[in-house]
């Protein structure tokens, strides 16, 4: 994944996570009243689920809201109006660097908070009952550590709390450990570092922690229903912390104790209500994840009108494959550069609409500034094609020597399906003779490389060479897409294949010139 694709994914997941957060904020109190605090806390998992859903392969024809399209087109490098590779790469690289600096700064900030809380505790010593005792009292008891959690109690733990209160406090912190609340807090910190630029994520962090504490309170009371009063008194005796604890759970950093104590009076939901709430949340979560996946734009949906998206994959000999994506105006020029084998390679190309719903890729391949080839290819919208310049020795157990270019051209709108000509009499219908060639009485030959599927339908057309260059290629490619072939057979079954088709243009033939393909 290059920097442009990373920034694109970052924007898409930020939009999806923000929508999920707003949804949770609307539902949390309703879920708490109907199914209990534990279900309201579980609803926060909709946020990472939405992020994962967006990272799955996109629905190409999803109905993206116009406002989302505008936002994505404004900030994502791959959907801008870049005229060449340099401007696109520079913009995406700067955005990636800016994001990385913010993510690192956020991580350092949270690390500073964690260390500040730890310093306030003073010396922490192990007790005989498996707990750890600090020299301070603020914000304790607390459980610290993501992978090896330990419960830390205040210096006056044995004096301030009675025996039953100490039992309930230990139960509370152990409930955090059993239900993975420390790992959930670590995930929340990670998301805040990744999406440091999203103020909504930071604003709702305290609501997430509050729902976490309410859920933990409900679990403890469910196991000790007769200890509500004692549990509430223990809350009132606890001192609020002066520092937040990002990676841990403690009794409070500005926790609304009034609401927590009021929740102790609410009867615990029955098992049937909890199951109904879990079923509702599961169905709702799956529906939300599907909506997030389906609403993300596919490649074609993110292309501004009047532009063509070009996906290029370049391989020199058997070296590493280098990929890039550009969005250029129709007929616009772009350049892809690569270094391989001690040489500087450049593809200087244009992409423009052609006839018969084809998109034309016209390129000049140079090595160290010297022109090597000028390959052209006509492609259907959204369908890949391959250009090979060199010799393929793979059939004899050798390697490919040369340049292999895979290109996909996509206009705004869904890809156009290939419709093969079903009329056998027109299976190799000749191409139209270019008017300019007729007037100048030009002859010529175009050697086409035609790919076909197992049904003989054309799936790709490439110019191998043409004489003279730049005269007859477009007409030959346009005709080739209408052809149909008898595919080769292997083990009695038709298989896809590639054939070379020479197309000869003779201006001195009847009917003001004609062209004849030979399969």
DSSP calls for 454-475: TTSBEEEEEEEEEESTTTSHHH
Nearest alpha-carbon partner for 189 in 244, 139, 148: 244
449 Cβ contact list (under 8 Å, min separation 6): 461, 462, 463, 464, 498, 499, 500, 501
Cα atoms in the Cβ-side hemisphere of radius 13 Å centred on 145: 11
- Cα 516 → chain centroid: 48
- Distance, CA of 24 to CA of 519 (rounded, Å): 63
The distance in angstroms from the start CA to the end CA of the chain is 41
Whether the CB-CB separation of 54 and 293 falls below 8 Å is answered with yes
CB atoms within 10 A of CB 500: 11
Domains of the chain: 1-81+270-302 (no CATH), 109-269 (no CATH), 303-411 (no CATH), 424-517 (3.30.2420.10)
Element (DSSP H or E) covering residue 361: strand 358-367
- Token reading at 203: 């604003």
| Tokens read off for 234 | 């223990």
Give the pLDDT score at 478.
83
pLDDT of residue 257: 64
Residue 475 CB contacts under 8 Å (≥ 6 apart), including other chains = 431, 432, 433, 434, 515
CA atoms within 13 A on the CB side of 24: 26
Place of tokens 């791959």: 78
Q: How far apart are CA 24 and CA 41, in angstroms?
A: 9
Residue 346's φ and ψ, nearest 5 degrees, are -135, 135
Q: How far is CA 410 from CA 130, 137, 169, 458, in A?
A: 64, 64, 61, 18
Q: What is the pLDDT of residue 410?
A: 86
Strands 248-250 and 333-340: unpaired
Residues pairing with 333 in the sheet: 350
Residue 194's beta-bridge partner residues? none
pLDDT at 250: 63
Residue 299's SS3 state is coil
Q: Per the structure block, which two tokens stand in for 475?
A: 């007409």
pLDDT digit of tens for each residue in the chain (519 aa)?
566 678 888 888 998 899 999 999 999 898 888 888 888 899 999 999 999 988 887 544 444 444 444 444 444 443 333 333 444 455 677 888 999 999 999 999 999 988 988 888 889 999 888 899 998 887 788 898 888 899 998 888 888 889 998 898 899 999 999 999 999 999 999 999 999 999 999 999 989 998 998 889 888 888 888 888 888 888 777 765 555 677 667 655 445 666 676 677 677 777 788 788 888 888 888 887 777 776 665 544 446 667 788 888 888 887 888 888 887 888 888 888 888 878 888 889 999 888 877 889 999 989 888 998 888 888 888 888 888 887 765 555 667 678 888 899 888 654 333 333 333 333 466 777 787 777 788 888 888 888 888 888 888 888 888 888 888 888 888 888 888 777 777 777 777 877 778 888 876 654 334 455 554
CA distances from 134 to 116, 160, 167, 241, 312 (A): 14, 14, 18, 13, 60
Rg, Å, the chain Cα set: 33
């Amino acid at each position: 994944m290059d920097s442009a694709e990373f920034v694109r994914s970052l924007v898409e997941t930020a939009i999806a996570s923000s929508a999920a957060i707003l949804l949770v904020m609307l539902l949390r109190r309703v879920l708490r009243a109907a199914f209990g605090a534990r279900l309201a806390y579980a609803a926060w998992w909709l946020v990472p689920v939405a992020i994962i859903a967006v990272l799955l392969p996109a629905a190409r024809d999803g109905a993206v809201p116009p406002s989302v399209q505008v936002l994505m087109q404004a900030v994502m490098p791959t959907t801008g109006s870049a005229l060449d590779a340099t401007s696109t790469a520079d913009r995406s690289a700067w955005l990636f660097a800016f994001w990385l600096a913010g993510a690192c700064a956020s991580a350092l900030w949270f690390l500073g908070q964690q260390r500040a809380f730890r310093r306030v505790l003073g010396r922490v010593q192990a007790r005989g009952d498996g707990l750890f005792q600090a020299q301070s009292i603020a914000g304790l008891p607390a459980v610290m550590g993501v992978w090896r959690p330990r419960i830390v109690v205040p210096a006056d733990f044995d004096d301030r709390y009675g025996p039953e209160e100490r039992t309930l406090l230990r139960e509370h912190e152990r409930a955090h450990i059993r239900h993975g609340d420390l790992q959930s807090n670590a995930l929340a910190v990670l998301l805040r570092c990744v999406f440091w630029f999203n103020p909504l994520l930071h604003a709702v962090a305290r609501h997430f922690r509050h729902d976490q504490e309410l859920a933990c309170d409900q679990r403890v009371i469910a196991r000790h229903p007769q200890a509500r009063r004692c549990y509430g008194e223990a809350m009132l005796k606890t001192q609020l912390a002066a520092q937040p604890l990002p990676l841990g759970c403690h009794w409070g950093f500005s926790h609304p104790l009034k609401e927590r104590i009021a929740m102790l009076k609410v009867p615990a939901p029955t098992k049937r209500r909890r199951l109904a709430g879990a079923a509702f949340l599961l169905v709702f979560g799956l529906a939300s994840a599907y909506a997030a996946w389906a609403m993300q734009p596919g490649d074609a949906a993110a292309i501004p009108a009047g532009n063509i998206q070009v996906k290029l994959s370049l391989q020199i000999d058997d070296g590493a494959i280098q990929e890039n994506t550009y969005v250029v105006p129709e007929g616009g020029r772009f350049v892809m550069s690569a270094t391989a084998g001690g040489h500087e390679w450049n593809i200087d190309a244009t992409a423009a609409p052609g006839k018969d719903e084809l998109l034309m890729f016209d390129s000049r391949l140079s090595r160290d500034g010297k022109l090597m080839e000028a390959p052209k290819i006509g492609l259907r919208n959204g369908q890949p094609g391959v250009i090979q310049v060199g010799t393929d020795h793979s059939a004899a157990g050798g390697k490919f020597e040369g340049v292999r270019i895979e290109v996909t051209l996509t206009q705004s709108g869904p890809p156009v399906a290939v419709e093969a000509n079903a009329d056998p009499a027109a299976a190799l219908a000749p191409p139209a003779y270019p008017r300019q060639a007729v007037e100048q009485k030009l002859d010529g030959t175009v050697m086409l490389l035609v790919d076909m599927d197992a049904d003989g339908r054309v799936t790709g057309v490439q110019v191998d060479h043409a004489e003279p260059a730049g005269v007859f290629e477009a007409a030959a490619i346009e005709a080739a897409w209408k052809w149909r072939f008898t595919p080769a057979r292997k083990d009695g079954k038709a298989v896809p294949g590639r054939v070379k088709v020479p197309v000869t243009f003779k201006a001195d033939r009847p009917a003001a010139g004609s062209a004849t393909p030979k399969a």
